[in-house]
Structure 1
Amino acid sequence: MGARIDATEFEGKRIVVTGGSKGAGRAVMARLAAGGGRMLTAARGAPDDLDADSFVQADLSTVEGVGHLAEAALARLGGVDILVHVVGGSSSPGGGFAALDDAAWAAELGINLMTAVRLDRLLVPGMIARGKGAVVHTSSIQRRLPLYDSTIAYAAAKAALSTYSKALSKELGPKGVRVNAVAPGWIYTDASARLVERIADSSGITEAAARQSILDALGGIPIGRPAEPDEVAELIAFLASDRAAAIHGAEYTIDGGTVPTV
Structure 2
Amino acid sequence: MSENTTTEIGWGSTTLDTRRDLWSMALGDDERALLWRDARAERWEDAAPLRERLRSFGSQSLQAVGFAHMPNLVDPAAGEDEVIAALSFVLRDFGEIIPQNAEGALWRVLRDQDGDGNTELGFHCDTCDLLVLLCLQPAVRGGGYTKLASARHVRSIIGRERPDVLATLEEDWTFDRTGRAGQQVIVSPILYSEEDGTVGCYYQTRTVRTSPERGGPPLTARQWEALDVLDEVLYRPEIAFQLRLEAGDLLVIRNSRVLHGRSPYVDVPGPGSRRVLRAWMSAGAR
Q: TM-score range, shorter-chain basis?
A: under 0.3
Going by fraction, where is helix more abundant, 1 or 2? 1
TM-score (norm 2): 0.25
More strand by share: 2
TM-score, normalising length from structure 1? 0.26
Larger Rg: 2
